[in-house]
Structure 1
Amino acid sequence: MNQDYIQPDNWSIIEEGFDADRVKSSESLFSIGNGAMGQRANFEEQYTGPTFQGSYIAGVYYPDKTRVGWWKNGYPEYFAKVLNAPNWIGINVVINGEQLDLNTCVAITNFRRELNMKEGWLSRTFTATLQNKLEVEVKTTRFLSLDLDEVGAINYQVTPLNGDATIKFQPYLDSGITNEDTNWDDQFWDTLKVTTENDKAFIEAKTMKTGFHTCTFMQASVYLENKKQEQNPEVYQQENAITFTYSLSVAKGQTASVVKFGGYTVDRNHDKTELVSAAKTALLTASEKGFAQLLEAQKQAWDAIWKMSDITIDGDVKAQQGIRFNIFQLNQTYLGKDSSLNIGPKGFTGEKYGGSTYWDTEAYCIPFYMATKDQNVARNLLKYRYNHLEKAIENAEKLGFKNGAALYPMVTMNGEECHNEWEITFEEIHRNGAIAFAIFNYYRYTGDYSYIPEMGLEVLIGIARFWQQRATFSTDKNQYVILGVTGPNEYENNINNNFYTNYLAKWCIDYALDNIEKVKEGHHDDYLRITGKTKITHEELHAWQKVADNMYFPYSEKHQVYLQQDGFLDKELITVADLPKVDRPINQKWSWDRILRSPYIKQADVLQGFYFFEDQFSTEELKRHFDFYEPFTVHESSLSPCVHSIQAAKLDQMDQAYTFYLRTSRLDLDDYNKEVEEGLHITSMAGTWMSIVEGYGGMRIKNDMLNFEPRIPKEWDAYSFKVNFRDQILKVNVSQSETTFELEGNTDLNIIVNNNPLTISPNNLVKA
């Protein structure tokens, strides 16, 4: 049974009624971020019930020493943790001497929480009866500014309903923070200095080991009936915390409020000696604008984002809410402004998985950012990998590879591998191919070849070298094999000849060879620079080609399908439909041994290859493979439903496509995997966008042109989306009766719709 307490709404995530059992799930679902920082939707006031406190700063991490029972040579020394940062949102509220705490109140009514995705703010309202019998109405509004991305703002209002009250607001900062997922209970933060200046407070701290310097700051002011109260706060200062206390006498029916600005300045953006000064500048700008003006700017900033990235769905509120939630969270996590940042799998919503970068970025996120921003954002994501090429070569060297072979990490913060599960770190090497595929995908979509001679070719050479060295020649098969791997289906470890991995290896080598020739012919200076740097020889290129031309792919003549790996047909092939519901999800119900021996597939594996390389297979082959593998797929990875939705739509199996779409779009909202309290699945949200644009819209790039094969689920009246294709913005609207196209720009755009050429002129509605 999935959770279903989120109210259906086109533009907001809404929770009505207070339930302590939902608090941690809602802290994830109502998370807010602005690309530079983010936080779970923790209550501002004290809460003594079960809670997962979490505030995070982009790019700030801690190398938590690896903890394993049996150390294996080659293990990464540490697991990079997204750091739970000092808390600036806290406001203790004391009313007639009693702490406001929803865990201890006598009654809580009219509880409502709203995350307004259209305008980018979080609010909470409720009526609480305290143990001292006073009844109060509380309303909070909070947002993290997109314009001033070091600043967040809170307006916290309290109205006594059945008597007069003395209300104390106690805004505070706290750097005595630990991570829930620490390996050794380390203290991650070293508090350096706590200072105040009038209504402002600052905590300077640095991270242990990595030495990131930060300043957490706040400024507070109090109001009675919207009139500012000139009041100097009482200050209570501790070693790693500071609290202001404001006291107001409030008559029954009057509203007292505190407005708090807070946030972080970081030495990633400022000199570490200037962090307090930068914080003062940020606070001055915020206070001069004021809460209302900052909120209005927030609405305008989100309006600009939605103008380009929105997907509309008519006739299906839950589907509409789902896709907007996914688009909203992606934009809260990464806006493409900083090429040293990336898209963490939990974003700013939790600590699980550590790291900031997985292969998810290249496989799922780049298409979303290419189409909804501009190509510079996607180029920044590719530049990020180029900047980490030396580290990728080091990672490969640690495993015994030579001559500039590059193995990109499974999980990283700085290019260094920091994932320490053996079967993932050393075996799930297919992630290397996703980097190369993203380079191909970027060029295919943008037409910008300049990235390849400037940066990309060096990456492709390092990856090709890895695959050539990782392959083994089998005298028995008289072909090259790749042994001891884990494919995308992580419910199989240490297997031989995973089809997807082998296919990707061959493709990467061929693609690198093609581009060496292309750069040689068209960018000769770059060719000389790169070949001089990499010391490529004809003999080496011949060795690559030999591996690519003679790669082994396991195949079943009986079923006419490529096999996921050697021996797949030896399994007891019981489909998921015949698996008792009580056994699901198997990753929470079964032993790992039982999972590894089962035929069950966590996510698209062979089908991931058919997704990437659709053009190299016929629709009939896709159908055969889809019909063979999907019945064994348990979809217990967040990355699974989107690929299957796209392929089901391609095969015109629209009921399946719709079921998978709902699952990917509402994976977190409905908590399909029973784990949302740990944080959201940010990177898979880009797959949700693809399931509409590539799935239902049928968008592909072929022969340098946009191609569409639009379809629509019977549950929808219409849907629309926009794509920025080579600086021309095309809006696609699909209804049950027709498909129309509108173009923003100055020149015509030639596209293909259902295999028919169509010319779209700017500012004209064109029916397909």
Structure 2
Amino acid sequence: MTSALWTVTEETFNPKAQHHSETIFTSGNGYLESRGAFEEGYPGERRTTFLHGVFDDIPISFTELVNAPDWLELHLFLNGEFFRMDRGEILHYRRTLDLRTGRVNRTVRWRSPQGRITRLEFERFASLADEHVMVLRVHITPEDYSGTLEVRAGWNGDVDNLNYKHWEWLAQEATPEMCALHVRTQATKIELGAASRLSLASGVLAEKTAWDVHNHPTQVVKTTLEQGKTLTVEKTAVYFTSRDVKNPYQAAQEKLLGLPVPAWDALWEPHARAWEEDWQACDVEIEGDDEAQIAVRFSLFQLLAAAPRHDERVSIGAKTLSGYGYRGHVFWDTEIFMLPFFTYTRPQIARNLLSYRYHNLEGARKKARDGGYQGAQFPWESAATGEEVTPTWVPHYADRTKVIRIWTGDIEIHISSMVCFGIWQYWKATGDEPFLLERGAQIFFEVARFWASRAEWNETTGKYEFNDVIGPDEYHDHVDNNAFTNAFARWTLEKAVWLMDYLRQNHPQAAEAYTKNLGLTDEELHRWQEVARRIDYAVDPQTGLVEQFKGYFQRRDVNLQAMEPRTESVQVIFGIEGTNETQVLKQPDVLMLAYLLPELFDKKSLQVNYDYYTPRTDHTYGSSLGPSIQAIMACRVGKQEDAYEHFIRAARADLRDVRGNAGDGIHGASAGGVWQAVVFGFGGLQFHNGKWTVTPHLPHHWKRLVFRFTYRGKSYVIDLPNKGPFSSEEA
């Protein structure tokens, strides 16, 4: 593969697309991520570095990931003129993200307001080998002058989250050799220690000083520039928090003092090796479609950059760590869209993500209790504690002077089963028995209790119902008997009963412990079976068509094709209530159900449901979660051209900002869905009874597809030339 297929490139800088570009050039190492803001700053920027697990509360409102003191700050004064891209004239500009290593490069040829030309090349990376360390450097070449260089860099503790400031100052240090800052979040009392230093190449004469400015300790280096000769300036930075160590301020300084000067070369090699190891396990190769190739690798890079490798008390939010969108909160996006990629390529990361739910089980129990239910109900939006953090009201998207009531935290209840489904898939793929015994089974039992207590008995129909809910299709709220929700309630209850039988047969001590500690009785298990057996599930016995929810077929049908071309979602056009009265879908619940639980659909019913729900879905402007799953289902009903159309829509979600909101952060679910569309859709990988099969459905213009996966401790490389059907299974 050529390097071009590993590189995201920006050849011109468009200030109107600044926030989109900042998202695209986000880089990180699973501990933190920094948006692609310029080192020197730019007007209107959203300059953030988010660290996993560092949440703080805004009183009476919500909790959010906290923007950390800025490690990227680097100000250059060239012969007294401050370099910034909104000053002077840009003669050349190029920025790249190397997906193999996470290195962000920016080359600028700049004519200053006074007419001097300088070539600057910026580089940065956050070490994947040592997650607390980041390095940036700039190569400075004066083309038509000799003169002075002054560099100012330190820590800005006065950062905010869209005008709200979370940090309180504790201590700092500023010397010619190091800057350090100690701060603490106001509500959650998480401490952060940061330390950094500036250095020049060996032998360069320089004057070093420091400014001990309150909450902004700064190092200053002054030297000379010689025409035509390149000078390199390096900044090495370290973060620790009280989530990591007892004294993060001391730890940051000690770590920094132990690093070589300069540090880039020594830190780069282990960092690059760590990324190479990831790509050897995760890479997907596509021949014949360069756009798809880069988009897939970009998606996987963003998932890997956000993935916690050494912390099992955090998860990946819907916008990863790449922007303010959803304030860093975790949704079902993780378990259903992102988790499969890790389960089948990096299972230890998958274990960490699922362990986050285990450690926050008490928060889920609290949510169930607060709603008057038993067991555990996982929140729609989760942060540090596992308690519900979905905002109740948000500004109206069309009129910011008005607010909208958000019901998802109250009645979008299927997320609890999504956590269980992620556990089930992980266990089946890895055989991680200790995780199942110590953590997974407990979650299943507690969620089953929730479903059994949430179910409502309808004496007339003789069915258990789940009324007043929202399914994955959020265009319709306050509906009864949503097919997706009901089917997964039944699935969870059945699997919980099966798990207890499995434990009794294979791990009797664990079964006895759960029976005692959770107070599980045979009577309760029998009730779970009875509730599962009688849950309402509306399917036409003749055609196999599943009604998305009770009364859905009576809602107004809309010909979406007749509304084209359009540039807005149906919900914007019809309004929230108006859309709720139609059959138009944000994403098709029934097709998502058919993807996750294919055993519920035979070939005929799958085709019938695909044909019914596909034309009623707002594919382009609805949910970013939908297109990748739609692509997989199109593959399964033999519609290859449709499958590619949906896949490429998902692949372009961030790189082309197809919904106009990529500036808020990476669409993590779409990134994970892209991998699933390639591997489970076009690659046709499926698992049955401990074996795997591959039945390709490659787009006609793809010449070859290669993907990797791990199953039951074995690693496989699947190489699919585009020359017809292929099938294989585990020996």
Shared fold (TM-score, shorter chain, > 0.5): yes
1:46 aligns with 2:41: yes
Structure 1 counterpart SS, 2:152: strand
Matches within 5 A, 1:233-312: 233-272=208-247, 275-288=248-261, 290-312=263-285
Greater alpha carbon shift after TM alignment, 357-366 vs 648-657: 357-366
Per the alignment, residue 132 of structure 1 pairs with 114
Per the alignment, residue 395 of structure 2 pairs with none
Matches within 5 A, 1:144-155: 144-155=126-137
Residues 340-390 of structure 1 deviation map (CA, whole Å, 9 limit, x = unaligned): 12111112210111244221221122221121123x332332222222222
- CA separation of 1:448/1:46 partners in 2, compared to 1, >3 Å: closer, same or farther? closer
- CA separation of 1:323/1:156 partners in 2, compared to 1, >3 Å: closer, same or farther? same
Residues 45-64 of structure 1 deviation map (CA, whole Å, 9 limit, x = unaligned): 132x2211111111111122
Are the counterparts in 2 of residues 199 and 232 from structure 1 also a CA contact under 8 Å?
Answer: no
1:175 aligns with 2:146: no
Per the alignment, residue 325 of structure 2 pairs with 352
Whichever residue aligns with residue 26 of structure 1, its letter is S
Matches within 5 A, 1:15-30: 15-30=10-25
Whichever residue aligns with residue 373 of structure 2, its letter is F
Per the alignment, residue 146 of structure 2 pairs with 164
Residue 173 of structure 2 is aligned with which of 184, 190, 195? Answer: 195
With structure 2 as the length reference, what TM-score do the two structures score?
0.94
Residue 84 of structure 1 is aligned with which of 42, 67, 86? Answer: 67
Residue 626 of structure 1 is aligned with which of 603, 610, 616? Answer: 610
Per the alignment, residue 123 of structure 2 pairs with 141
Per the alignment, residue 594 of structure 2 pairs with 610
Structure 2 counterpart SS, 1:59: strand
Matches within 5 A, 1:458-469: 458-469=442-453
Whichever residue aligns with residue 336 of structure 1, its letter is R
Whichever residue aligns with residue 178 of structure 2, its letter is K
- CA separation of 1:88/1:405 partners in 2, compared to 1, >3 Å: closer, same or farther? closer
Greater alpha carbon shift after TM alignment, 130-139 vs 24-33: 130-139
- CA separation of 1:623/1:9 partners in 2, compared to 1, >3 Å: closer, same or farther? farther
Matches within 5 A, 1:385-464: 385-402=357-374, 404-421=375-392, 422-464=406-448
CA distance in 2, matches of 1:492, 1:228: 68
Residue 351 of structure 2 is aligned with which of 361, 373, 379? Answer: 379
Whichever residue aligns with residue 390 of structure 2, its letter is H
Are the counterparts in 1 of residues 77 and 83 from structure 2 also a CA contact under 8 Å?
Answer: yes
Per the alignment, residue 331 of structure 1 pairs with 304
* Residue 98 (structure 1) shift: 2.1
Residue 98 of structure 1 is aligned with which of 81, 94, 101? Answer: 81
Are the counterparts in 2 of residues 8 and 318 from structure 1 also a CA contact under 8 Å?
Answer: no
Structure 2 counterpart SS, 1:125: strand
Greater alpha carbon shift after TM alignment, 566-575 vs 113-122: 566-575
Whichever residue aligns with residue 264 of structure 1, its letter is Y
Structure 1 counterpart SS, 2:587: coil
* Residue 435 (structure 1) shift: 1.2
Residues 539-597 of structure 1 deviation map (CA, whole Å, 9 limit, x = unaligned): 32232222211111234579741111112122221233222333523355553222322
Are the counterparts in 2 of residues 479 and 550 from structure 1 also a CA contact under 8 Å?
Answer: yes
Structure 2 counterpart SS, 1:174: coil
Are the counterparts in 2 of residues 357 and 413 from structure 1 also a CA contact under 8 Å?
Answer: no
* Residue 8 (structure 1) shift: 11
* Residue 528 (structure 1) shift: 1.2
1:61 aligns with 2:36: no
Structure 2 counterpart SS, 1:10: helix
Structure 2 counterpart SS, 1:582: coil
Structure 1 counterpart SS, 2:407: helix
CA distance in 2, matches of 1:433, 1:629: 23
- CA separation of 1:728/1:555 partners in 2, compared to 1, >3 Å: closer, same or farther? closer
Residues 423-470 of structure 1 deviation map (CA, whole Å, 9 limit, x = unaligned): 110111010110111122122222334433322222111111111111
Whichever residue aligns with residue 254 of structure 2, its letter is T
Structure 2 counterpart SS, 1:307: helix
Per the alignment, residue 398 of structure 2 pairs with none
* Residue 738 (structure 1) shift: 6.0
CA distance in 2, matches of 1:587, 1:124: 40
Per the alignment, residue 656 of structure 1 pairs with 642
Whichever residue aligns with residue 446 of structure 2, its letter is G
- CA separation of 1:319/1:160 partners in 2, compared to 1, >3 Å: closer, same or farther? same
Structure 1 counterpart SS, 2:411: coil
CA distance in 2, matches of 1:558, 1:525: 47
Are the counterparts in 2 of residues 137 and 160 from structure 1 also a CA contact under 8 Å?
Answer: yes
1:370 aligns with 2:348: no
Residue 12 of structure 1 is aligned with which of 7, 20, 28? Answer: 7
Structure 2 counterpart SS, 1:721: strand
- CA separation of 1:397/1:447 partners in 2, compared to 1, >3 Å: closer, same or farther? same
Gaps of 5+ in 2: 393-405
Are the counterparts in 1 of residues 34 and 322 from structure 2 also a CA contact under 8 Å?
Answer: yes
Residue 695 of structure 2 is aligned with which of 709, 712, 717? Answer: 709
- CA separation of 1:198/1:276 partners in 2, compared to 1, >3 Å: closer, same or farther? farther
CA distance in 1, matches of 2:3, 2:274: 25
Per the alignment, residue 313 of structure 1 pairs with 286
CA distance in 2, matches of 1:574, 1:683: 28
Residue 674 of structure 2 is aligned with which of 685, 688, 696? Answer: 688
1:121 aligns with 2:107: no
* Residue 128 (structure 1) shift: 1.4
Structure 2 counterpart SS, 1:192: strand
CA distance in 1, matches of 2:263, 2:87: 34
* Residue 617 (structure 1) shift: 1.5
* Residue 95 (structure 1) shift: 2.0
Aligned residue pair count = 715
Residues 207-233 of structure 1 deviation map (CA, whole Å, 9 limit, x = unaligned): 11111111122110134xxx5434342
Residue 187 of structure 2 is aligned with which of 209, 220, 223? Answer: 209
Residue 459 of structure 2 is aligned with which of 475, 478, 481? Answer: 475
Gaps of 5+ in 1: 1-6, 68-78, 740-752, 761-768
* Residue 336 (structure 1) shift: 3.0
With structure 1 as the length reference, what TM-score do the two structures score?
0.90
Per the alignment, residue 399 of structure 2 pairs with none
Are the counterparts in 1 of residues 64 and 383 from structure 2 also a CA contact under 8 Å?
Answer: no
Are the counterparts in 2 of residues 31 and 41 from structure 1 also a CA contact under 8 Å?
Answer: yes
- CA separation of 1:644/1:261 partners in 2, compared to 1, >3 Å: closer, same or farther? same
CA distance in 1, matches of 2:13, 2:523: 69
Greater alpha carbon shift after TM alignment, 449-458 vs 143-152: 449-458
Are the counterparts in 2 of residues 499 and 564 from structure 1 also a CA contact under 8 Å?
Answer: yes
Per the alignment, residue 4 of structure 1 pairs with none
Structure 1 counterpart SS, 2:200: strand
- CA separation of 1:210/1:759 partners in 2, compared to 1, >3 Å: closer, same or farther? closer
* Residue 497 (structure 1) shift: 0.9
CA distance in 2, matches of 1:552, 1:31: 45
Whichever residue aligns with residue 441 of structure 2, its letter is L
Residues 237-290 of structure 1 deviation map (CA, whole Å, 9 limit, x = unaligned): 222112222222213222233100013111111112xx2332233223432572
Structure 2 counterpart SS, 1:52: coil
* Residue 109 (structure 1) shift: 2.1
1:727 aligns with 2:721: no
CA distance in 2, matches of 1:379, 1:347: 17
Residue 519 of structure 2 is aligned with which of 527, 532, 535? Answer: 535
Structure 2 counterpart SS, 1:56: strand
Residues 633-691 of structure 1 deviation map (CA, whole Å, 9 limit, x = unaligned): 11322211111111111122111111111122221001111111111112331111111
Whichever residue aligns with residue 337 of structure 2, its letter is Y
Are the counterparts in 2 of residues 205 and 213 from structure 1 also a CA contact under 8 Å?
Answer: yes
Are the counterparts in 2 of residues 410 and 431 from structure 1 also a CA contact under 8 Å?
Answer: no
